[in-house]
């Protein structure tokens, strides 16, 4: 009888171990896909510039005398102009410049739709892609290079060990609202709030505002910020279980793009989302010195 009980207990431990190993493998696969997205030719690692537009006619090129300087050897010294007409923006390429939009050669003036439409007009010249972004009342040119040094040499991001205690099930108090949160560029960004997630960690109760764009997500701060993790907080996806329940897995907490480049416009955690604990889960702070 004792032998049977011992065998049953061993079988139980093995099953638990297998379930935990499966969980760790799933988190690792998720992180691998996250890295693949970062390393996409037009991902955040390719971002080499952001210029806020002031004026009505601005030259763009790799020449340092340009109004908008593109720091890439794969971009013409003088490529053309970005022009404003009332509240609309246009790109006018110089003659013989090989500029493309959606695979079609651009030879004349083309209107530039910004990213507030969800589908900005992208102009490709050589390995460089640029398009307009809108933040508050400001419009800027975001510039990416598929041959950027960081994109070529990126080696990955350190993480805390995966620990299932950081995967929490939370009740969600519905809040159908829109609010503005601060960003690293000093303008506020409008986000859609879907609710407040209430959960426990270490026997204590905490909460986070949950947002929605294409899917549920949140951004949080904690006591590791500025030391072990990025000072401006981290993002984490939120899984909807039902209308009043979600899952937040802090093992999937990841760095915002401003960790990698000074040219992003990352949102910052609102006061309600700053947790008074050390969340040692997910990605650690990434430093350029690791890649040099």
pLDDT at 133: 96
Picking from 130, 147, 137, the residue whose alpha carbon sits closest to that of residue 66 is: 130
Residue 290 has pLDDT above 50, yes or no: no
Residue 96 has pLDDT above 80, yes or no: yes
pLDDT at 19: 64
The tens digit of pLDDT for each residue in 120-142 reads 999 999 999 999 999 988 999 99
Structural contact between residues 275 and 220, judged by C-beta atoms closer than 8 angstroms: yes
pLDDT at 136: 86
pLDDT at 1: 52
Q: Where do the H-state alpha helices sit in the chain?
A: 2-38, 149-153
Give the model's confidence band at 187: pLDDT under 50 very low, under 70 low, under 90 confident, else very high: confident
User: Token pair of 170, please?
Assistant: 């939370």
Residue 94: phi and psi, rounded to 5, are -75, 160
The DSSP secondary structure of 79-91, one letter per residue, reads: -EEEEEETTEEEE
Structural contact between residues 91 and 105, judged by C-beta atoms closer than 8 angstroms: no
Picking from 254, 241, 239, the residue whose alpha carbon sits closest to that of residue 32 is: 254
Residue 289 has pLDDT above 50, yes or no: no
Greatest alpha-carbon span in the chain: 89
Residues 6+ apart with CB under 8 A from 13: none
Mean confidence (pLDDT) of the chain: 91
pLDDT at 248: 98
pLDDT at 176: 84
Give the model's confidence band at 20: pLDDT under 50 very low, under 70 low, under 90 confident, else very high: confident
Residue 270 has pLDDT above 60, yes or no: yes
Residues 6+ apart with CB under 8 A from 122: 101, 102, 129, 130, 131
DSSP 156: -
Residue that the structure tokens 């601060």 belong to: 182
Residue 143: phi and psi, rounded to 5, are -120, 125
Helix H or strand E segment including 204: strand 204-212
């Amino acid at each position: 009888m004792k032998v049977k009980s011992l065998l049953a207990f061993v079988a139980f431990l093995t099953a638990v171990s297998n379930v935990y190993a499966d969980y760790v493998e799933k988190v690792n696969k998720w992180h691998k896909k996250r890295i693949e997205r970062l390393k996409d030719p037009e991902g955040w690692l390719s971002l080499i510039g952001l210029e806020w537009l002031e004026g009505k006619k601005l030259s763009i090129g790799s020449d340092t005398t340009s109004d908008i300087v593109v720091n890439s050897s794969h971009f013409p010294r003088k490529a053309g102009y970005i022009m404003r007409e009332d509240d609309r923006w246009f790109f006018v390429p110089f003659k013989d410049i090989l500029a493309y939009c959606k695979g079609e050669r651009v030879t004349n003036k083309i209107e530039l739709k910004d990213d507030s439409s969800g589908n900005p007009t992208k102009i490709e010249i050589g390995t460089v892609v640029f398009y307009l972004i809108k933040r508050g009342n400001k419009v800027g040119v975001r510039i990416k290079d598929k041959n950027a040094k960081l994109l070529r040499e990126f080696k990955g991001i350190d993480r805390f060990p995966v620990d299932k205690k950081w995967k929490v099930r939370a009740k969600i108090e519905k809040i159908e609202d829109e609010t503005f949160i601060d960003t690293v560029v000093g303008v506020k960004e409008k986000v859609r709030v879907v609710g407040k997630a209430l959960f426990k960690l270490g026997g204590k109760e905490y909460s986070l505002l949950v947002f929605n764009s294409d899917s549920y997500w949140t951004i949080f701060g904690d006591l590791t910020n500025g030391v072990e993790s990025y000072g401006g907080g981290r993002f984490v996806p939120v899984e909807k279980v039902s209308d009043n329940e979600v899952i937040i897995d802090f093992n999937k907490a990841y760095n915002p793009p401003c960790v990698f480049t000074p040219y992003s416009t990352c949102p910052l955690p609102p006061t309600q989302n700053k947790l008074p604990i050390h969340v040692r889960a997910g990605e650690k702070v990434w430093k350029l010195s690791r890649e040099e």
